[in-house]
Amino acid sequence: MLKLLDYSLLRGRIRTYFGSEANFVRELQKRGVEMSTGSFSNKINCKSPFNQMEIIEICNLLGIPIEEATKYFFTKKYELNS
């Protein structure tokens, strides 16, 4: 089911604010979020889920109002059949 989530908006916001996912994860770690770059990669590539506290901290760091978290974390990915 995780493969159905589209994190492209989140990836874009991270690149806009931090330039790279590695820079972003370092900033999360400074804020006390225990997440490695490998763990973040697994989450953003739909191999493991984000938990609630991670979502809240990510929203805070990226200036995303919590009311808008759904479009960054729970947007379904649609694949076109050829």
Using DSSP's 3-state secondary structure scheme, residue 5 falls into: strand
Query: Is residue 81 in some structural domain?
Result: no
Query: Is residue 82 in some structural domain?
Result: no
Query: Is residue 79 in some structural domain?
Result: no
- The count of domains in the chain is 1
Work out the angle at residue 19's Cα, subtended by the Cα atoms of residues 28 and 72, and round it to the nearest 5 degrees.
Answer: 65
Print pLDDT tens along the chain (82 aa).
456 899 999 999 999 999 999 999 999 999 999 999 999 999 999 999 999 999 999 999 999 999 999 999 999 887 655 5
Residue whose structure tokens are 């159905």? 4
What is the DSSP annotation of 61-78? HHT--GGGHHHHHSPBP-
Q: What is the pLDDT of residue 80?
A: 59
Q: What is the pLDDT of residue 4?
A: 85
Query: Is residue 51 in some structural domain?
Result: yes
List CB contacts of 74: < 8 A, sequence separation 6 or more. 5
Query: Is residue 26 in some structural domain?
Result: yes
Q: What is the pLDDT of residue 78?
A: 75
Task: Provide the domain limits for residue 27.
Answer: 2-73
